[in-house]
Amino acid sequence: MGKLREPLDNIHSCGLPVALEVMGERWSFMILRAAFNGVRHFEDFLGVLGIARNILSNRLARLVEYGVMQREPLPDDRRKIAYRLTDKGYDLLPALIALRQWGEKHGLGVAANPVLCDARDGEPIAPITIRSHDGRVLDVRDLEWRMRGEAREEAMAAAL
Amino acid sequence: MGKLREPLDNIHSCGLPVALEVMGERWSFMILRAAFNGVRHFEDFLGVLGIARNILSNRLARLVEYGVMQREPLPDDRRKIAYRLTDKGYDLLPALIALRQWGEKHGLGVAANPVLCDARDGEPIAPITIRSHDGRVLDVRDLEWRMRGEAREEAMAAAL
């Protein structure tokens, strides 16, 4: 990283604490993983996750409260509830996959199976990377902090 | 996601639980964020994070144990320790930035400042996305699970 250091005490202008308020607990990610795989009902989450009933109930309520999932009564039996990911929930997929790929690369010791693939050509997806606005892959050494406003202005000045 | 559902009970072949074993707790990510910003010493982590001493001590020990950070005695005073990110730790940056961007988009309500930029052209980095092996941006609807081996073979058969 470059010269400017992010002001670490000013957590109200960083998105990370906000994200961790919602997702900073391992069960939240495991529930999300199950939801991405099509699990919809309380009893099914309970079965696939091996999570305690009260913890699942608490975590689902929190994910609904934060708008990551929504509760939908089923049309044929309105006492039954389906939990579905919202668009805000689907937006967590890059973070989830990046964590998963890190675990595969560094912790697993065996190749993950099944593999997440592009449906169009059947090839495994690429590793999640950090990229510039025009698509170049960036390394930590290519990054620096800039104050908002300064970023674009300097780039424009350089282009003149 | 496509037809095949990931076997959710087989968590030994998924990288996500491995990653969450190390990172599934909000302080781990906040420590990582500080480390990416150049914080190196116990007292400095304590100061910028507002974390309790015993929790910081516990989390740093865990990050060292899992090889995300390493302890280095300082050459001028070997009683003093620097905590540095390892390559394995730097590999968590895409997941960290993806979480942060999600928080900025969905939770913050104000624009994040400063902004993480590409040092080469000063432009803010792109949103972290899921991409195919040849670089196309993929949506959740473009993804499907395939058993390892099957992926490439089918792609080769399709190319013939």
Task: Give tens-digit pLDDT for B24-51.
Answer: 778 888 899 899 988 999 999 999 888 9
CA–CA distance, A44 with A34 (Å, rounded to integer)? 9
HSE-up of B42 (CA within 13 Å, CB side)?
17
CA–CA distance, A75 with B85 (Å, rounded to integer)? 52
Contact A124, B130 (CB under 8 A): no
Find chain B residues with C-beta within 8 A of A6's C-beta: 33, 37, 114
Q: What's the confidence (pLDDT) of residue A9?
A: 61
User: What is the pTM (predicted TM-score) of this model?
Assistant: 0.85
Asked if residue B127 has pLDDT above 90, the reply is: yes
Residue type, B13: S
Nearest CA in chain A to B86: A106
CA–CA distance, A120 with B144 (Å, rounded to integer)? 9
Least Cα distance to A93 among B127, B147, B68, B133 occurs for B127
Residues contacting B151, CB < 8 A, separation 6+: A115, A117, A122, A123, A124
Residue type, B75: P
Look at the block and give the residue holding tokens 């001590």.
B57
Q: What's the confidence (pLDDT) of residue A107?
A: 73
* Interface contact A125-B148, CB threshold 8 A: no
Q: What's the confidence (pLDDT) of residue A76?
A: 86
Residues contacting A97, CB < 8 A, separation 6+: A116, A125, A128, B130
> Does some domain include residue B106?
no
> Does some domain include residue A55?
yes
Q: What's the confidence (pLDDT) of residue B2?
A: 47
Residue type, A43: E
Find chain B residues with C-beta within 8 A of A115's C-beta: 145-148, 151
CATH value at residue B55: 1.10.10.10
DSSP state of B119: T
Residues contacting A122, CB < 8 A, separation 6+: B146, B151, B152, B154, B155, B158
> Does some domain include residue A115?
no
> Does some domain include residue A119?
no
* Three-state SS annotation for B62-82: HHHHCCCEEEEECCCCCCCEE
Domain of residue B76, residue span: 11-91
Nearest CA in chain A to B8: A48
Compute the nearest-CA separation of B75 from chain A (Å). Answer: 24
pLDDT band, residue B65 (cuts 50/70/90): very high
* Interface contact A107-B133, CB threshold 8 A: no
Helix axes B42-49, B53-65, angle to 10 degrees: 120
Interface test with A, best of B9, B20, B84 (most A CBs within 10 A): B20
> Does some domain include residue A108?
no
Least Cα distance to B92 among A8, A117, A105, A18 occurs for A105
Nearest CA in chain B to A51: B9
Strands A81-85 vs A69-73: parallel, antiparallel or unpaired: antiparallel
> Does some domain include residue B98?
no
* Interface contact A121-B94, CB threshold 8 A: no
* Percent helix, percent strand, percent coil in chain A, to nearest 5: 50, 15, 35
Compute the nearest-CA separation of B115 from chain A (Å). Answer: 5
Q: How many domains, in total, are found in chain A?
A: 1
Cα distances (Å, whole numbers) of residue A18 to B34, B48, B109: 16, 17, 10
Which residue stretches of chain A have pLDDT < 50? 1-2
Least Cα distance to B94 among A112, A151, A127 occurs for A127
Residue B4 is encoded by which pair of tokens? 């095949």
List, for residues B72-124, the tens digit of each pLDDT value: 998 888 788 999 999 999 999 999 999 989 988 887 666 677 889 999 999 99
DSSP string covering A101-135: HHHIIIIISS--SSEEEETTT-PBPPPP-EE-TTS
Give chain A's length: 160
Which ipTM was obtained for this model? 0.85
Q: What's the confidence (pLDDT) of residue A10?
A: 59
Contact A103, B14 (CB under 8 A): yes
Contact B120, A159 (CB under 8 A): no
How many Cβ atoms are within 10 Å of A12's Cβ, its own excluded?
11
> Does some domain include residue A127?
no
Find chain A residues with C-beta within 8 A of B41's C-beta: none
Compute the nearest-CA separation of B78 from chain A (Å). Answer: 26
How many Cβ atoms are within 10 Å of A158's Cβ, its own excluded?
10
